[in-house]
Amino acid sequence: MLFATAGIFFAIFLYFGILFEVEPTSDLKNLIRENIRIAEDNNRLLRKIVSANRWARIFKVLYWIIIIGSMVGIYYYIQPILMDLLDAYEGLISGMQNIQKAGETVGGAVNPSNISPALIDKIRNLLP
């Protein structure tokens, strides 16, 4: 409301100023010069802010490129080592499963109560 009222008064002042061709005073000239100086200063500051934001955006993009690129590079160089470790682990697991299966298969024969006396005699005959 206040700005609308001020705008109306300014329009009336401008109308009557043009109508009566009021000669600008030195105070008005000084105010206009000060206004131009402040506007130029604001323009310079705004350009600096825009430039700083542009550089910040560029550095943020470079930051993420470095982060993601290093992760891809590390995976590229470590992937063969990880695959070798995974193959070794799978070999170890399959070896343990084979030992477990062999133990289950031979488990009945290893139990001394399940060995027949004839087999014990054959083993004794083999020994010197």
Q: What is residue 10's predicted lDDT score, i.e. its pLDDT?
A: 65
Complete DSSP assignment for the chain = -HHHHHHHHHHHHHHHHHHHTPPPPHHHHHHHHHHHHHHHHHHHHHHHHHHHHHHHHHHHHHHHHHHHHHHHHHHHHHHHHHHHHHHHHHHHHHHHHHHHHHHHHHHHHHSGGGS-HHHHHHHHHH--
Confidence of residue 63 (pLDDT cuts 50, 70, 90): very high
Q: pTM of the full predicted structure?
A: 0.45
